[in-house]
Homo-oligomer: A and B are copies of this chain.
Amino acid sequence: MNRVAILTSGSDAPGMNACIRAVVRGAIHHGIEVVGIRRGYGGLIRGDIFPMTSHSVSNIIQRGGTILKSAHCPEFMTVEGRQKAYEHLVSNNVDGLVVIGGNGTFEGALHFHDEFRFPIVGIPGTIDNDLFGTDYTIGYDTAVNTALKAIDRIRDTADSHERIFLIEVMGRDSGYIAVQSGIAGGAEMVMVPEVLLSASDLVDALKKGWNRSKSSSIIIVAEGETKGTAAALADQIREQVDCQIDMRVTTLGHIQRGGVPSAYDRTLASRLGLGALEGLLEERTNVMVGVINNQLVYTPLHEAVGRPKPIRNELLRMVTILSV
């Protein structure tokens, strides 16, 4: 292996830059050239490729977002798109590819590898932590801490006004952010896609709290399948409670994607970046590098893609007990 390429794809996540830095510096350490691809698979299709040096990644470890830019790329889901991408890799003398992203990114990688047998390693970069084959994804720890800081702020008001707040956090198919920010934020209840809970369950929990003369409550809701989950839930609650309640809804939204990455995310990103590079050198391909029980693990992409990662029951149980 003489030259590797790196790209970031899909939604950005804090720590992607620390990961790019690790791939680039790991390559330099091992005497390998490295090129960057701008704007994900789309940039690869257009041949937007440039050489990277140690200086290219100076002073980026602490920055959110991705210096390589990112995008979703429907064209890479076509045979023609992937063919163009392959030709650009070949004409640039690239013989290994590292892609940082989420499930959609890896699906693209899987197709690409199936067709061209091109050496490729995926790195899990998404705030949702919904990827099989790794305990944590890059960006998750930062996103949870961002959500938590927001919850802490809102609790000041909830407590001062003795109000109920429904806070919607990110996580379309996965309740990881909701559960961990709920436990750490001292929430009364957490609603996640993995567990079927109705507005009535919520009303029951609220009433129990009122019986213990709890005056304020924080409820965390994962955004779920449909937009406006938390707002719809609030309406249902209002219908089922006979007294008037002071309840507000707030949606944290895009603030959860950005920001300075946490220590954990920078360390994880550095390990996985180096692990991906060294995986390529050891001729591992068509795999995702992850961390399980604090060890680097390479999982075949076809095993990782699209496979759900369940939430531990222990965590959901904790929410209930600790809101006593």
Residues of chain A at the chain B interface (Cβ within 8 Å)? 8, 11-12, 14, 18, 21-22, 25-26, 28-29, 39, 54, 59, 61-66, 69-71, 135, 141, 144-146, 148-150, 152-157, 159-162, 165, 180-181, 183-186, 212, 248, 250-260, 262-264, 266-267, 270-271, 274, 293-294, 314-315, 318, 321-324
Listed by A's residue number, 20 A-B pairs whose Cβ atoms lie within 8 Å are A25-B323, A25-B324, A59-B186, A62-B155, A62-B185, A62-B186, A65-B156, A65-B157, A69-B162, A71-B162, A156-B259, A180-B263, A180-B267, A184-B266, A248-B254, A252-B255, A255-B255, A267-B315, A270-B322, A271-B314
Residue of B nearest to A30 (CB): B321
Residue of B nearest to A167 (CB): B254
CB distance from A210 to the nearest CB of B (A): 14
Q: In the bound complex, do residue A185 and residue B61 qualify as a contact, i.e. CB atoms below 8 Å apart?
A: yes
| A324 CA / B161 CA spacing, docked (Å) | 29
| A276 CA / B257 CA spacing, docked (Å) | 35
Q: In the bound complex, do residue A322 and residue B212 qualify as a contact, i.e. CB atoms below 8 Å apart?
A: no
Q: In the bound complex, do residue A59 and residue B294 qualify as a contact, i.e. CB atoms below 8 Å apart?
A: no
Which chain B positions have C-beta within 8 A of A63?
156
Q: In the bound complex, do residue A65 and residue B267 qualify as a contact, i.e. CB atoms below 8 Å apart?
A: no
Q: In the bound complex, do residue B154 and residue A254 qualify as a contact, i.e. CB atoms below 8 Å apart?
A: yes
Which chain B positions have C-beta within 8 A of A161?
11-12, 69-71
Cβ 8 A contact of A152, one of B156, B160, B183, B259 = B259
Which chain B positions have C-beta within 8 A of A324?
25, 28-29, 54
| A46 CA / B153 CA spacing, docked (Å) | 29
Cβ 8 A contact of A156, one of B149, B258, B315 = B258
A26-B321 CB under 8 A given contacts A12-B161, A159-B59, A251-B253: yes
| A54 CA / B262 CA spacing, docked (Å) | 31
Q: In the bound complex, do residue A156 and residue B69 qualify as a contact, i.e. CB atoms below 8 Å apart?
A: no
Q: In the bound complex, do residue B160 and residue A66 qualify as a contact, i.e. CB atoms below 8 Å apart?
A: yes
| A183 CA / B260 CA spacing, docked (Å) | 15
The 4 closest A-B pairs by CB, nearest first: A156-B258, A153-B258, A64-B156, A65-B156
CB distance from A134 to the nearest CB of B (A): 12
Q: In the bound complex, do residue B270 and residue A183 qualify as a contact, i.e. CB atoms below 8 Å apart?
A: yes
A29-B257 CB under 8 A given contacts A14-B156, A183-B266: no
Residue of B nearest to A260 (CB): B152
Residue of B nearest to A145 (CB): B263
Which chain B positions have C-beta within 8 A of A258?
152-157
Q: In the bound complex, do residue B61 and residue A184 qualify as a contact, i.e. CB atoms below 8 Å apart?
A: yes
Residue of B nearest to A70 (CB): B160
Which chain B positions have C-beta within 8 A of A293?
293-294
| A152 CA / B62 CA spacing, docked (Å) | 7
Which chain B positions have C-beta within 8 A of A262?
145, 148, 262
Cβ 8 A contact of A255, one of B66, B150, B318 = B150
Q: In the bound complex, do residue B321 and residue A135 qualify as a contact, i.e. CB atoms below 8 Å apart?
A: no
Q: In the bound complex, do residue A29 and residue B160 qualify as a contact, i.e. CB atoms below 8 Å apart?
A: no
| A324 CA / B274 CA spacing, docked (Å) | 13
